[in-house]
Amino acid sequence: MSSKKPVEQHSDLIERDGNFQVQSFDLDRLDNFVQNLGVEYSHYKSMPSPIGQGDRGDYRRNDGVDTITSNGMLYFKSGHFVATMTDNSRDRKRGEAGTLDGSESRLVLPRFYNDGERIYLSPGDRIYVADKEADVLVSNTQKMDYELGVDNIPMFPIVKFELPIIDNRNIQYTQGVDFCTTNDGNIRWLPEGKNPGIDPNTGKGRIYSIRYLYKSYWYITTLIKEVRVTNVTTDGERKPERMPYHAVVVREFLFHNQNKGNKENQLKSKDPQRAVKAPTESIISGPVISVDMTNFQEE
């Protein structure tokens, strides 16, 4: 290759005598930068629920004994940290499994909880905004089936109703008169009020529609920056230090499906006025047609 003269004056990026300054991250200042811009979150660690499972490969379990599982996981409060959430978006898409909420954000964390313990994240963990006064309420709509004698459980715990309940007969129901919300965010039909009741044509509870506000929370879905180790200089000593997480979070894309257990364990009203008479009409009309070849009847 032929050589040529430089067009302009050039300088060495690294001094030829080797005397250059070693660069180093100040991890404490990085933590302070994130904490100064962020808000406090409560972190709940997750683990698969084995409750009521007879075999490790079983998909079904006895829901009568598992009443604390949510989305097939158990959650335990781990601590509080101050983090920064960015790039929030909202995009709902319909798929074969239903509507998916793609409210994806980036979470930039410090290295430690507020009490000084190291933070460890895993996909499936939950985080909540710790400040109860913060406005993190979001709106949701859904259809529900009326269930007699038990609290009706929506997708997410209800904080406040935005509109009255309307059933499939276009009858409206008023909060505080016909129904109320429990401390768990469920719908409880009041004995002195009206309710959708049982549809005599199906023998099931009538369908009704609701619109309400609930407290949003997030799931950890991806750890894009999990194990990051760099050399830092501390007190004149050069040593490796682990850097903080960067994670992708999605706002409760999994609908609230906490196992309800046996209905016998749920609160039932002792007021007989809440009882709904069984349907008097039969869905079977005309002669009975036998479809079993072994079931012959003599005339």
Q: Are residues 94 and 234 in the same domain?
A: yes
Return the structure tokens found at 49: 């629920």
Assigned domain for 182 exists = yes
In this predicted structure, which of 158-167, 175-184, 248-257 has the lowest mean pLDDT? 248-257
Do 108 and 154 have their domain in common?
A: no
110 and 250 housed in the same domain: yes
Whole-prediction pTM value?
Answer: 0.63
169 and 195 belong to one structural domain: yes
Q: Which of 192, 215, 238 is the last residue of a domain?
A: 215
Domain of residue 91: give its range: 22-132+217-276
Pair (85, 104) in one structural domain: yes
Number of folded domains in the chain? 2
Instruction: Say whether both 97 and 226 belong to one domain.
Output: yes
Torsion angle in degrees (nearest 10) through CA of 120, 125, 126, 130 = -10
229: three-class secondary structure by DSSP: strand
Q: Examine residue 292 and state whether it is found in any structural domain, yes or no.
A: no
The verdict on 232 and 198 lying in the same domain is no
Q: Quick check: is 8 in a domain?
A: no
| Residue 10 domain-assigned (yes or no) | no
- Most confident range (mean pLDDT) of 2-6, 130-134, 260-264 is 130-134
Rounded average pLDDT over 232-251: 80
Average pLDDT of the chain is 75
> What pLDDT sits at residue 239?
78
The percent helix, strand, coil of the chain (3-state, each to 5) is: 5, 35, 60
Residue 102 inside a domain? The answer is yes
240/105 same-domain check: yes
> Do 220 and 125 meet the contact criterion of CB atoms below 8 Å apart?
yes
**276 vs 9, which has greater pLDDT?**
9
Most confident by average pLDDT, 47-61, 139-153, 274-288 = 139-153
| pLDDT score at 17 | 61
Residue 156: the pLDDT is 86
Provide the b/e sequence for 138-162 (b: ≥16 CB within 10 Å).
Answer: bebeeebebbbebbbbbbbbbeebe
The 8-class DSSP code of residue 205 comes to B
Let me know: does 100 contact 92? Beta carbons within 8 Å. Answer: yes
- pLDDT tens sequence across 168-192: 999 999 999 999 999 989 999 999 9
Based on the fold, state whether residues 42 and 183 are members of the same structural domain. Answer: no
- Are 66 and 203 in a shared domain? no
pLDDT of 221? 87
Residue 30 confidence (pLDDT):
75
Say yes or no: 51 and 83 in one domain: yes
What was the pLDDT predicted at 280? 43
111 located within any domain:
yes
- 106-131 confidence digits (pLDDT tens): 888 888 999 989 999 999 899 999 88
The domain boundary residue, chosen from 180, 215, 250 = 215
Question: Phi and psi of 263, rounded to 5°?
Answer: -65, -20
pLDDT at 285: 45
**Which of 165, 183, 215 corresponds to the end of one domain?**
215
Judgement on whether residues 144 and 203 belong to the same structural domain of the protein: yes
